[in-house]
Chain A
Amino acid sequence: MSERMIRKAGAFEILNHWALALSFFVLALSGAGFLYHLEGVAALFGGPQGMRGIHNWAGVVFAVSLAGTVFNYLGVSLSFSYDDIDWLMKGGGYLSRKKINVPPQDKINTGQKLYYLGVLFAGGLISASGLAIWLLPGNRELVLASHFVHTLCYAALLFFIPIHIYLATLANPGTVRIMISGTVPLDWARKRHAKWVKKMGYE
């Protein structure tokens, strides 16, 4: 391939994202095992005690890798401009295959920014509440509130994350490269992240 490539994600971002994704998968599955009393899932984790240990420690991996994402996405997610409003009005051009002239986007687009802020919020709360249930079991009020928040965030994440996965894989073929090699064709980047490509010094 003689296509010119541009690096969109570095080694840290890729590894961190996989740690987050895999720990999330383990947590979501074991969490469903607890929430819906799925004994088959518990057996998969070596029984209910094993599932608890794995859930709690996967939780630590999740919390640490979530904190790691701050270095990659928080700055850009907090920078909004008129282009973002425009993007939202046009629905990001995401849902249809028609050619829609969406405003130029930064390293991540408006939808991804909002999604990131939501995941950071819900992920932060699910981690804090999980740690409270785990480490402060004597504190009745705190545990009951945490237990509630833990499942509330679970519901939110279980809605948004499948959509995120769909958009990054099946819906937009080629995107998943960012989490594998970390590089994308310059041409592709120009279409989707024009602002960022410019910032990187390309014409």
Chain B
Amino acid sequence: MRFSSFIYLVGQGLHNMRANRLMTFASMGVLTVCMLLIGTAFLLGVNIDYMVDYLGDQNFVVAYLEQGTTEEERAQVEASLGGMAGVGGITYNSPEDVLQEYSGMLSQYTNLESVFANDNPFLANYEVTLTDVGQMEAVVAQLGALPHILRVNAPLAVQQLFLSLQKVITYGSYGLVAVLGLVSMVVINNTIRITVFARRREIGIMKLVGATNGFIRFPFFVEGTASGLLSAVLASGIVCGGYYYLCQWYAEHPTNLTEMFGGELVPLSQVWYLIVGTFVVFGFVLCGIGTATSIRKHLNV
């Protein structure tokens, strides 16, 4: 192909966008709305996932040391804990710490510290936070196998609940995204089909004066991908912009409820490229392929 032909065909595609602006607006509108829905469903899913994660992370495993564990032995335990897979952080609570905590809680009723001054019944323990709540069971097993560990307390039932909750939400929201994506494909494909159908006569004439399929298809392809990309930019702007302000608002209006869920949303900086990337690919592929395929049957002249 000559370079001038290439320029001509690109120009022709852009010209057609303007010439058929009603159809262009219609298909871009449909595409943008679809993307907005998909983006919203995605952000909803991501955030709920994030909150569940946060709640899960609030759980920790408590490993109690045997009475009379020496300092050296404790150092060994601590070293093994530090190297253990799945362990995020450890906090040591000496018997004195525990006594202090409980006596603080009960200070209105009694003075525990003086009662147990020489005979502290509390066990030293390690609070072990996990990098991933899903590994709780495995970590508990490992902890139990360590020497000088008397007992391990873990909220395994709660953890199960969180895990299944997270699974439901993940499948639910990404399933919704998939369904919306599929619906969008059908709707957009139909819109393109109508656009192409309205121009089938024109396509037939071009074929009869000797145009190759590629020559006819190219401007349609340019038109399709350009509207796809424009819609992607538009939808990205709306979704990311809207989400940015939502994040701000959310952080500035804390309530008990929001505090319970960590007090913040997934920051835009962590998701924007996913949204923009998905939209661009979605718009480009859907419109490009959609036009190329719906034009095909009219090319059989």
A and B part of one assembly: no
B interface residues with partner A (beta carbon < 8 Å): none
